[in-house]
Copies of this chain bind each other. A is one copy, B any other.
Amino acid sequence: MEINMNQLTKIVIDTRGGDKGASAMVAGAAAALDKYPELGIVLVGDQQEIDTLCASLSMPSERLEILHAAEEITNHDSPAEALFQKQDSSMLKALQALSERKELFGLITTGNTGVLLAGAMRYLSGKNRVRPALAAVLPAQSGGFTCLVDTGATVDCTPPVLHHFARLGSDFMRDMYGLVSPKIGLLSNGAESSKGNKLVKETHVILAQDDSLCFVGNIEGNEALSGKCDVLVCDGFAGNQVLKVTEGTATRIITDIMKYAYKTGSGEIKTLASHLMSIYDIGSLGGGIILGVEKPVIKARGNAGPDAVVNTAGMLLNMSRNQAVFDAAQNHI
């Protein structure tokens, strides 16, 4: 297969490890190639399975490459064991290719988060072997975006770790969204600087002293996605709650609206429910992004379907126009 991908932004897609199997990932890849003419894709997984799936879709072969991997990382694999025993897995082969091949820009995977973070640290942390963060970029009420960091990579944090997250998030939002001075908020249980647990109070002092950051103070949970800050810093446990409670509440209300629509038979309300679903379906928004590594790695949800692949591929294309971010992120610590 001869491929000329020099003019393309080439990304790697791990086809294994997701709930919906390789078929969803390959279908997503096909849709992304169709939507973005400047995109090239390397599919990593079982060659035979991918060949079969591709045969049933019309894929532009000049923008497609397949990399065979005999093994699959499952959700039962522990990071330490997987790194040593499953080097021929699609996730680790994808990370290795991303690390070794200069022309590859980023990676999308739906697989095991723990193994992914460990693998990203092994293959993509460069000289600085720091723990990466898993961020989520969510639509803010004000119309922009809020980068929530961390959403679950590091659940027990120290103040210097949260400080590191603030800098990673600040760099990311500056370079990715062109914000001159991203506003950094600290998730707390009260707006006053005296509010917070021990971790938050100590972090507040450190963030307030860092002149390189535009620290706007504590942000409460009800304003997490208000747009008062561009980066919301928190430990991975609290960030996971913000992400999942937002999703759970939105899903619940939209379900209520659907029931109400069926009860009343209102077409208008059904239309509204579909509209809200398209806004608040966090699962399809693009997934988490690993900050603090040399190239962008996107962790889509385990149950991600083709739409999520298209959306995350779109995110990577956006980032490729602002590649500086990941270099900049490396200049810290």
A224 within 8 A of B: yes
Given A197-B156, A246-B249, verify A240-B266 contact (CB < 8 Å): no
The answer, among B152, B224, B248, B280, for a CB contact under 8 Å with A253, is: B280
Given A257-B272, A272-B269, verify A222-B197 contact (CB < 8 Å): no
Of A162-170, A175-183, A231-239, which binds chain B?
A: A231-239
A268 pairs with B276, CB closer than 8 A: no
For the complex, what is the distance from the CA of A255 to the CA of B235, rounded to whole Å? 29
Give the size range of A's interface with the partner.
Answer: 35 or more
Overall SS of chain A's interface = helix
For the complex, what is the distance from the CA of A247 to the CA of B280, rounded to whole Å? 15
A225 within 8 A of B: yes
For the complex, what is the distance from the CA of A245 to the CA of B189, rounded to whole Å? 11
For the complex, what is the distance from the CA of A253 to the CA of B197, rounded to whole Å? 29
A206 within 8 A of B: no
Nearest CB of B to A312, in Å:
20
For the complex, what is the distance from the CA of A244 to the CA of B246, rounded to whole Å? 10
Query: What residues on B are CB-neighbors of A281 within 8 Å?
Result: none
A39 within 8 A of B: no
Nearest CB of B to A120, in Å:
19
For the complex, what is the distance from the CA of A280 to the CA of B243, rounded to whole Å? 19
Query: What residues on B are CB-neighbors of A260 within 8 Å?
Result: 272, 275
Query: What residues on B are CB-neighbors of A152 within 8 Å?
Result: 189
Apart from A221-B247, A245-B245, A257-B272, 20 more pairs, CB < 8 Å: A141-B252, A141-B255, A196-B237, A200-B237, A221-B244, A221-B245, A222-B245, A222-B247, A237-B238, A238-B238, A241-B245, A246-B248, A246-B249, A249-B253, A253-B280, A256-B279, A266-B268, A268-B268, A268-B269, A269-B269
